[in-house]
Structure 1
Amino acid sequence: MKRFAALLLTAVLALSLPLSTLAAGTIEVTEDVSVTDTYDWTRFKGKNITLNVYNWGEYISNGSDDSVDVVSAFQKLTGIHVNYTTFDSNESLYAKLRSGAADYDVIIPSDYMVAKMISEGMLAKLDYGNIPNFQNIDEEYRNADYDPTNEYSVPYMLCTTGIIYNTTMVDKAPTSWADLWDERYSGNMLMFNNSRDAYAIAAFATGNSINPQSTEEVDEVVEKLKSQKPLVQAYVMDEIFDKMIGGEAAIGVYYSGDAITMIDDNPDLAWVFPEEGSVLSVDSMCIPATSENQEAAEMFINFMCEVDIGKANAEYIGYTTPMQAVWDVLDEDLKYSEIAFPSEEIAEKEKVFTDLSDEVNSELDVKWSEMKSYDEGGSGVIFLLLLLAMIALACFNIWRKLRKKSRNMY
């Protein structure tokens, strides 16, 4: 993600020396990171606790490019080991948890998925006595529709969707989602590989709601996606980084924070918020109902809401912080970035996802799978039919020869 600041780990962390107390009220963790000393960060030391944290890819400051290694800092401070793994979409996160294939203690789904998991009893209620830094979350991001009383989630980052394109490969800059159906981009376009974000693009382009209320509405919008298939080079998530940075595609769609990263690595890239509007998502920290380490998980969430940690994460990944105290100390480039913090005119057109009814959600899953199978497996079906035809022809020829031989013998 965007590497705005050189946030160096110090000998305190690298050499495992004791943490030092600074001026009253803080404990130094690294040279650029300190945390409040009124919180008992050490109460789990020596208890051999491991937290399984499941987050989006490239979504935390990880120590590369002279940034803060947030996970290592937390482990050093608390004595809690963190097993950190990543997912690439809300749907894959949901499927993994629903299958019971793995146990997690902290997850970071987006707003509509938080609502879905709450309704299905998949999340634990939070004890805010263990998360005093929740006070750092701005009021406007509390008590959102997906979690009206903030019983289950703490906002982590915000982002919007938009179009990223290569200025050396695109003659005229795109201005709308409808441009993604332009045949000029045939074979050079990247689309979201998840149903909600892809659906939203087609919904914007057709003037429909990004939150369908009927199965008929789903069918109509997915037909629009189907008509786009011949133009799409690939349906991607994190793969977009290598493809756009490496010039393998002319145009793609993704999240604002990741766009900042890609543009930083390839200055030929540019970003646009489409004129129809875009999706504003809030990714939140939650604890699965199956977690056996809830208090330690709440400590991790509290750590992520420390101002210095929030700053390190925001400056590394380039996403929008929900904490004013973090924004106040951000690097100036990010603080006034039109991508991370768009104008009021753009913000007024932003829409948010809501949880869909079971019937509509099921229809979207089915139609999305059909659309993907049609796109990715269409040539394979044709090949199979040709192969079967060839086999049938070969069998027919063999039968004719045997029949002829039999008649000659007679």
Structure 2
Amino acid sequence: MKRKVLFLLLAVTSACFLFGCGNGKKAGENGEVKVYNWGDYIDEEVIHMFEQETGIKVVYDMFETNEEMYPVIEAGGTKYDAVCPSDYMIEKMIQNNLLQKINFDNVPNIKNIDKQQLKDSKAFDPDNAYSVPYTYGTLGILYNKTLVNDKVDSWNILWDKKYKDNVLMYNSVRDLFVPALILNGESLNTTDEKTLQKAKQLLIEQKPLVQAYVMDQIKDKMINGEAALAMAYSGEYLAIQEDNPDIEFVVPKEGSNCFIDSWVIPANAENKENAEAWINFLCRPDIAKMNFEYITYSTPNKAAYDEIDDDYKKLEAVFPTKETLSRCEVFKYIGEDADSIYSELWKEIKAN
């Protein structure tokens, strides 16, 4: 839903990690763990540290959307051991028997995860049996305050004709439909075809204003001032603002999507205990803090949060308030038939 482009450095450093560079245990002496994660969604030094401390070699691949990841896991050609999907996709994977339960005796650091995040995870993993929260956040609007003179507090601004060719929208079906459904007063999890047709029409009306439907490219375009407004997930904000201080982020007053990305273990994983060692390592407070400072998505790790600089905690874009989250809705898995409807409507939008 949603992540930054992984720098070439990761590919270079990962190659070094695979061959056990540095001090400590040689990577691979205790087997391997095949990891499938979003692009640029981990501090690469964490991979190095895990390999040194455990002697487990990390084989690391990346995906750009949940919809790209799912068929790879379903096909089972590559047997990944640890994967990081989003809430609704985890629910789908559980229903389709693509995941196996985690042995939490091997993940004692689960104690560091905030109880509220575990409670919220029950929306897609009712018994907290298959997943461990990694990040959470909200969907909102990034805007360049030197290019936008209006108050930005509503999804409606993405339909304002004065910003023609200056709007970026996500090239992701469920994400794209969020503002249209919300502006129509509908649930993000609706499966009613008439309701979705109405949302589709609103997106078709918006299309002449849209510069591009993109994913990871949003970062560079907003940094370089190539667009005034963009749909974006909250974790992108700090990294983008660091390079362009004119960028701000807001969760629209009408509401939005809030998400939880979590680690899971596929049913066909060949290195389950190594996957549990990986998840446990990522739940360690110092490691969770490292990852937060690198990817800047909200951490559900309470012990890590307590050590984070107060300046970060004050940023609504980074750690949304309860009031903001109360206006947001978590994606649910809506079933194969509804998935097909969304996909067909997205094709119609692109064809117009």
TM-score (norm 2): 0.90
Residues 1:184 and 1:286: Cα distance change in structure 2 (over 3 Å): same
Question: Does residue 46 in structure 1 map to residue 29 in structure 2?
Answer: yes
Give the ranges of 4+ consecutive aligned residues of structure 1 lying more than 3 Å apart after TM superposition.
13-19
Say whether residues 1:208 and 2:214 are aligned partners.
no
Aligned residues of 1:315 and 1:331 also touching (Cα < 8 A): no
* C-alpha deviation, 1:18, in angstroms: 4.4
> How far does residue 118 in structure 1 lie from its aligned partner after superposition?
0.5
**One-letter code of the match for 2:22?**
S
Match of 2:196 among 196, 200, 218: 218
- Partner AA of 2:88 in structure 1: Y
Structure 2: state its 5+ residue gaps.
5-16
The one-letter code matched in structure 2 to 1:117 is M
Cα separation, 2, equivalents of 1:358 and 1:125: 23
1:291 pairs with one of 244, 249, 269: 269
1:35-74 to structure 2, matched below 5 A, reads: 46-47=29-30, 49-62=31-44, 69-74=45-50
- For the residues of structure 2 that align with 1:93 and 1:15, how far apart are their CA atoms? 30
One-letter amino acid of the counterpart of residue 230, structure 2: G
Structure 1 residue runs of 5 or longer lacking an equivalent are 2-12, 20-41, 63-68, 376-410
Out of 38, 54, 59, the residue aligned to residue 78 of structure 1 is 54
Tell me what 2:91 maps to: 115
Query: More deviation in 336-345 or 154-163?
Result: 336-345
- Structure 1 equivalent of residue 224 of structure 2: 246
Alignment of 1:316-331 (within 5 A): 316-331=294-309
CA contact (8 A) 1:195 1:365 kept: yes
Structure 1 position 141 matched with structure 2 position 98? no
Per the TM alignment, residue 15 of structure 1 is displaced from its structure 2 partner at its CA by 7.9
Instruction: Name the CA distance, whole Å, in 2 between partners of 1:84 and 1:335.
Output: 31
Q: Does 1:16 align with 2:22?
A: yes
What's the secondary structure of 2:235's corresponding residue? Answer: helix
Shift of 1:220: 1.9
Question: Once structures 1 and 2 are overlaid, which stretch shifts more, 205-214 or 289-298?
Answer: 205-214
Structure 1 Cα separation of the partners of residues 317 and 243 of structure 2? 16
Distance across 1 between alignment mates of 2:97 and 2:88: 14
Letter in 1 for 2:43: S
How big is the shift at 1:343?
3.0
Q: 2: CA distance between counterparts of 1:271 and 1:113?
A: 26
> How does the TM-score come out when normalised to structure 1?
0.77
Q: Please, what is the CA RMSD of the aligned residues?
A: 1.9
Report deviation, 1:337: 1.6
Residue pairs, 1:305-344, within 5 angstroms: 305-344=283-322
The answer as to whether partners of 1:318 and 1:334 remain within 8 angstroms in 2 is no
Structure-2 separation of matches of 1:168 and 1:331: 28
CA contact (8 A) 1:108 1:285 kept: yes
Matching residue's letter, 2:29: G
Q: Do 1:215 and 1:359's aligned partners in 2 also have CA atoms closer than 8 Å?
A: no
Aligned to 1:269: 247
The alpha-carbon deviation at position 348 of structure 1 amounts to 2.0
Match of 1:104 in 2: 80
Q: Secondary structure at the match of 1:142?
A: helix
Q: Deviations over 1:367-408 (max 9, x none)?
A: 112322x15xxxxxxxxxxxxxxxxxxxxxxxxxxxxxxxxx
The answer to whether the Cα contact below 8 Å between 1:263 and 1:270 also exists between their aligned partners in 2 is yes
% same residue: 42
Q: Say if 1:363 and 1:15 are closer, same or farther in 2 by CA, change over 3 A.
A: closer
